[in-house]
Amino acid sequence: MDSNKAAEFKLKGNECFKAGQLARAVDLYSKAEQADSTDPVYPSNLSAALYEVGDYSSCVRAVLRAWKLLDKQPVAKPDLVVKLSNRLAKALSLGVRARTISENDLHVNETDIRALRKASETASEGDNPATREDLTRMWREWDATAPDIKAYTEQHDVSLSNLSRLPLFSKPLDDVKEYYSIGNDPIINLVDGWGARTEPDVLNINELPQEKLSEVAFLFGGVGDGRHAFGTISGVFDAYTALPHSKKAVFHTHLTMLDIHEAAIARDLCMLILLDDLNRTREPTMRDEIKATLMYMFLAPVMPRYCHSCLRNAMEDVRERLSTNTPNLPEWLHLDRDAIPGVLRTLTYWLTTQKSTKKTLTAHQHQNASASQQALELVALHTGNPALQRKIEESRAEQRREMAESLRAMSDDMIRDFPFVPPGASPAQARALLERNMEELVDTLQESYTKGRVTGYEEMWYERTKVFLPPWAFKPSHDGFDEAWEQMKRPPSIKKATFRKVAAHIADEWEVNITLFDANYNNEDHYPGGDGYPDLKYDAFEAVSFMADFNNRHDPDALERPSIDMDTLTYEVAGTFFEGVAHAIQGLRGRITVELICDGLSEELAKMRLGGDVNRPPAFPRKYTRMWLSNVPDYTHGPMNMAVFILPNLQDHPQAAAACNCLLNMGIWKDDDQFFYTYTHLLPKDVPRYLGCRIIRPQAVMEILVMGSQPLPRPLTELATRDELTTWLTRVLFNILIAGRSQPSPNNIRLPHNLVAFVALLLHLPAVGFPAHWLSDFLARVLSGRMQADVAPYAGVWPIPVADAARRVRARQVRTDPWLVEFESIIATAYYAIPFAIASALPADFARSPADIRVWEARVYVTLPFAMSAIAVYGRATPFEPTTRLLFYRPALVDPGETVEGMKAIFEGRANPAPGSFFVLTAQECVQYRTRVQFRLSRRRVERMKEEKWSMVIYRSDLAEIGMFLFESISTASAWVDILESQRQNLSRLHSGFWLQESRV
């Protein structure tokens, strides 16, 4: 024993503890205890440091070692006894909740735990009331936690699964889902990276460990037309063929194609079936027909009748396959069971709906790439975003500089080939002429670059006919096409009569690409003033150019050729592309699974991670090597959502990453810092310190955002301090409770996270490495109904300025009581999976069992039919913003209009309406503005509300004045229906009907 050495370690440990160097303090206190194992102060100090770093099981052991030494001493130290007892109670509750303290641990230490608790009750008798109350409260938390110790293990996964089914986003007032049938970005092969192949982004499959070769998995969120999945299938096959035989033998890849819209999944499934059909026939004419069908289906608003018949056959084939108990899809293809009803509905709509070819082509406008560039410039002008304008100008200037340098770098012989260089000119003369003509040359190159392609003969044809040319073998079936095509290539010979003949043939003999249509286009409620036809204004050759570029990247011999020249035909390009995909599928037979899921991206990944995907085969991956999210994060709270709900589904691999682009509102952002801050209330450099993930590429606004995971938990030294975390969580919470406002398109920003997402964030942070008691203490403050804070929500127009990070107000008490009922539903649902102590903080009337929480349905009516309102269609009050809130109130005590208008003032502390007379829900199960709304509340609470005659109104959180509301749907509690009970009663009646029928027989 060396008491001097121990005292020295203790002194250094105290300095580190006060400086927040907790890991170092743990090490020094451990050395102090080792140097002198007879003094209870040393394990006591160690227990304090262990508690602060969140190591609760080690903390309990250190507390009990200190207690045993203390209990042997002749002179009592009541203050130390009370401190140890308080710390023990907290550490026990937190450790059991975190599942780091087992039932066996408690059994082994039961005698010492009881003894210390009893001793502290005596020792605290002389303390001040606050100390005694704090001790009592900590042991009360333990008394509430201890009986459920088995449940925290046995019901943990079920609770997480239940939580994964709660809605993360506030709903819009209109529940229609937007259907994006044709994409507008270059084709990505995720093996090569996020676009053009660059070495740092390449996924080197050959370098993966042998055990990882069977787990190569890719996910495509917002998969749309499937282009990136198709590109990745080809890329995976290229990588597979390069593997040595031993690695090929164990290789397997899984691609998950996910979209929230059932029509997108139905369309992709039909294309995959056509690709399978292509692999099953060698007959040249049939292969041409299938490839042509894929081309028209993927690119065009109309198609020849024989392609339409081929498409109908594929749709009928899929419908028949899905109409059995066990869908008979190809062995490499899987459709999620939950998606089948929606896909069947879509197929039935497509197979039974007639649309006019003439009307479709009238609606279709081919917008060439120059128009697209002009549109981007108009966005910059419209938004008044100087940063975007500057970026466009800088990009154009840099582009011109690079083009000029490329021209100067040409060889002398190449320069002498220019038409402005006369024969026999010397190299110096040729270069002088090059400089004289440089601006004109760069202008021509830049125009071609802007368009992304040469304007070939077929694009000129398309501008006159609005159709792609069919395969050469089928041209005789198309009246006037041969003659018109020859005239097209010799402009002086073009005759109007020839093209009138072509137009008449198309109108009479061609059919609509019905897969571009959504059943909702016919619904006046969803598309007021619509004619049942989609918006068909797009660059028809943009995707052709992307296909050509992709084909060239996968053909080493083509790298020196232009992707598209004057004579290139779309069928040649699309045929090569789809032939390559089909060849890859065939080559990977037995090594590939393609899965289609219809659901929200965050919701589905949460179900995978938390055990809620009960209908997916167990062998399917729950974690992915790479994910391409398209611009889904534009709609789902950006990088905040990615960090909490997407990245945890990445594999533990240095090259694993998730990427997305920004398309919805690119012109509104000043820079990437503002982009990150608006969504996360953090700058890019701070995201790893709070959310535990990597920012691989932060260039979200004009390029690609790439984020990666890293092993968790992170060392506490890498993370935000407790004060920093508390301030940040307060800001995140307050901005959910009191939201700012978005702007009309193209400046529209969506921040739909609700309180479910916030609780999920709290549950995620202990996994990042933050001590659980930090979160426990924070949530307890929220659940008290009032919080002292110097942070204020940003209630202005989005985006949120970065300067908001430093904004403080005078510390004041804010009200959180209006949102506590929603916390009840969320906490009860996830109760046994919450990894920090919570029991003593819950209000007395809170439900604690998931079984107490039910989904209720209320029938509603519209007092102002917003679908007919000009405000709804054109103003900032568009019904598609995910900003719905439900206000529940007692009509005798609360005026709903005044309450909604005054919500910010109420949050800031206004006394009226009184707590308990109203509450707000940020999460809804379903909202359909004309008919119904579904929400979660405890059964006991609803029974009480029915007795007290409560009512409900639906409002939008982003509109400041009641006069701006589009509608007010009022429902009384007496009319609410328990969905589960209603389903049981219907099932009971159904069974009774069967028995009656049987008895009559």
Lowest mean pLDDT among 154-168, 484-498, 568-582, 863-877: 863-877
HSE value, Cβ hemisphere, 13 Å, CA-based, for 780 = 15
For the ranges 47-51, 175-179, 497-501, 532-536, the one whose mean pLDDT is highest: 47-51
Q: Domain containing 957: what range?
A: 158-174+741-1001
- The dihedrals phi and psi of 126, each to the nearest 5 degrees, come to -90, 0
Q: Measure CA 349 to chain center.
A: 29
Residue 275 contacts residue 333 (beta carbons within 8 Å): no
Same structural domain, 825 and 877: yes
The reported pLDDT for the residue numbered 986 is 53
Cα distances (Å, whole numbers) of residue 114 to 102, 107, 586, 848: 17, 11, 68, 27
Parallel/antiparallel/unpaired status of strands 951-956 and 970-972: antiparallel
Which residue from 281, 306, 378, 339 is spatially nearest to 598, judged by alpha carbons?
339
- Across the range 867-875, mean pLDDT stands at 45
Sorting pLDDT into bands at 50, 70 and 90, what band is 525?
low
Place of tokens 């035909």: 569
Residue 730 contacts residue 782 (beta carbons within 8 Å): no
- Across the range 183-192, mean pLDDT stands at 93
Residue 187 contacts residue 227 (beta carbons within 8 Å): yes
Same structural domain, 150 and 162: no
- Across the range 224-232, mean pLDDT stands at 98
Same structural domain, 94 and 75: yes
The reported pLDDT for the residue numbered 861 is 72
Q: Is the model's pLDDT at 177 over the cut of 80?
A: yes
**Domain total for the chain?**
3
The reported pLDDT for the residue numbered 108 is 95
Q: Tell me which of 591, 618, 647 is where a domain ends.
A: 647
Residue 735 resides in a domain? no
Which class for 909: exposed (0-12), middle (13-18), buried (19 or more C-beta within 10 A)?
exposed
Sorting pLDDT into bands at 50, 70 and 90, what band is 673?
very high
Q: Is the model's pLDDT at 529 over the cut of 70?
A: no
Q: What H or E segment, with its residue span, contains residue 900?
A: helix 896-901
Q: Is the model's pLDDT at 134 over the cut of 60?
A: yes
Cα distances (Å, whole numbers) of residue 686 to 320, 471, 551, 724: 53, 55, 40, 11
The reported pLDDT for the residue numbered 990 is 37
Q: Is the model's pLDDT at 764 over the cut of 60?
A: yes
Sorting pLDDT into bands at 50, 70 and 90, what band is 178?
confident
Residue type, 421: V
Give the 3-state secondary structure percentages of the chain, helix then strand then coil, rounded to 5: 55, 10, 35
Q: Tell me which of 647, 672, 690 is where a domain ends.
A: 647
Same structural domain, 169 and 211: no
Sorting pLDDT into bands at 50, 70 and 90, what band is 381?
low
Same structural domain, 812 and 952: yes
Q: What H or E segment, with its residue span, contains residue 889?
A: strand 884-889
Same structural domain, 144 and 165: no
Same structural domain, 328 and 206: yes
Same structural domain, 114 and 226: no
DSSP tag of 166: S
- Mean pLDDT over each residue of the chain, to the nearest integer: 89
The reported pLDDT for the residue numbered 197 is 55
The reported pLDDT for the residue numbered 836 is 94
Q: How many whole angstroms separate alpha carbon 544 and alpha carbon 295?
A: 9
The reported pLDDT for the residue numbered 169 is 97
Same structural domain, 145 and 246: no
Residue 625 resides in a domain? yes
Same structural domain, 799 and 934: yes
Residue 939 contacts residue 854 (beta carbons within 8 Å): yes
Sorting pLDDT into bands at 50, 70 and 90, what band is 968?
very low
Lowest mean pLDDT among 134-138, 339-343, 646-650, 961-965: 961-965
The per-residue pLDDT for range 433-470, each reduced to its tens digit, is: 889 888 888 887 776 555 545 568 899 999 999 999 99
DSSP tag of 919: E
Q: How many whole angstroms separate alpha carbon 84 and alpha carbon 68?
A: 11
Which class for 338: exposed (0-12), middle (13-18), buried (19 or more C-beta within 10 A)?
middle
- Across the range 21-33, mean pLDDT stands at 96
Residue 226 resides in a domain? yes
The reported pLDDT for the residue numbered 989 is 42
Lowest mean pLDDT among 108-112, 232-236, 366-370, 893-897: 366-370
- Across the range 584-606, mean pLDDT stands at 97
The per-residue pLDDT for range 610-666, each reduced to its tens digit, is: 888 888 999 999 999 999 999 999 999 999 999 999 999 999 988 999 999 999 999
Residue 489 resides in a domain? no
Residue 464 resides in a domain? no
The reported pLDDT for the residue numbered 868 is 46
Q: Is the model's pLDDT at 62 over the cut of 70?
A: yes
Q: Is 516 helix (H, G, I), strand (E, B) or coil?
A: helix
As given in the structure block, the two tokens for residue 323 are 């109409």
The per-residue pLDDT for range 251-276, each reduced to its tens digit, is: 999 999 999 999 999 999 999 999 99
Angle at CA of residue 629, ends 627 and 633, nearest 5° = 135
Residue 182 contacts residue 588 (beta carbons within 8 Å): no
The reported pLDDT for the residue numbered 870 is 37
How many residues does the structure list for the chain? Answer: 1001
Residue 383 resides in a domain? no
Q: Percent of the chain beyond pLDDT 90? A: 71
Residue 778 resides in a domain? yes
The reported pLDDT for the residue numbered 420 is 85
The per-residue pLDDT for range 469-506, each reduced to its tens digit, is: 999 899 889 999 999 999 988 877 889 999 999 999 99
The reported pLDDT for the residue numbered 302 is 98
Place of tokens 């003969």: 457
Q: Tell me which of 647, 666, 694 is where a domain ends.
A: 647
Helices of type H across 75-175? 78-97, 103-123, 129-145, 149-154, 156-164
Residue 888 resides in a domain? yes
The per-residue pLDDT for range 284-316, each reduced to its tens digit, is: 999 999 999 999 999 999 999 999 999 999 999
Rounded to the nearest 10 degrees, the angle between the axes of helix 156-164 and helix 601-610 is 170
Q: Phi-psi bin for 638: left (phi > 0), alpha (psi -120 to 50), beta?
A: left
- Across the range 102-131, mean pLDDT stands at 88
The reported pLDDT for the residue numbered 991 is 37
The reported pLDDT for the residue numbered 864 is 54
Sorting pLDDT into bands at 50, 70 and 90, what band is 931?
confident
Same structural domain, 946 and 999: yes
Same structural domain, 964 and 864: yes
Q: What is the CATH number of the domain that holds 73?
A: 1.25.40.10
